[in-house]
């Protein structure tokens, strides 16, 4: 369970810092937007009606939670997969008499 938390926690921290820091650019949510692609294409229209911290902080963090869960599940499956049996190789035998 804890393996599913680092990416969502970092994303939520990014959103909170973006909200708290004073910005000089016109749209301070550009970095969370870029990090959340392709989901941000759906989130941007929502951020006109709902505060961006809620949109990116909740939905974007949920997006990263799902991505991280899938990555952990794939990693576990790969780790549990047994390697194929090794075929014996034809070559000089070790420890035998030399000619």
pLDDT (0 to 100) of residue 91: 62
pLDDT at residue number 12: 94
**The whole model's pTM is what?**
0.71
| Predicted confidence band of residue 99 (pLDDT cuts 50, 70, 90) | low
Give 8's pLDDT tier (boundaries 50, 70, 90). Answer: very high
pLDDT band at 97 (very low <50, low <70, confident <90, very high): low
Among residues 96, 53, 69, 99, the alpha carbon closest in space to that of 5 is found at: 69
Predicted confidence at residue 23, as pLDDT, reads 74
First to last CA, the chain: 60
pLDDT for position 96: 57
Please name which of 1, 2, 4 lies closest in space to residue 68, comparing C-alpha atoms. Answer: 4
What token pair was written down for 2?
A: 């804890």
């Amino acid at each position: 369970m804890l393996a599913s938390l680092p990416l969502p926690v970092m994303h939520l921290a990014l959103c909170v810092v973006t909200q708290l820091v004073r910005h000089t650019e016109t749209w301070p949510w550009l970095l969370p937007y870029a990090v959340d692609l392709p989901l941000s294409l759906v989130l941007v229209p929502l951020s006109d009606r709902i505060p961006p911290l809620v949109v990116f902080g909740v939905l974007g963090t949920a997006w990263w939670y799902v991505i991280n869960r899938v990555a952990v599940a794939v990693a576990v499956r790969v780790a549990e997969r047994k390697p194929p049996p090794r075929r014996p190789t034809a070559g000089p035998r070790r420890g035998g008499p030399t000619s």
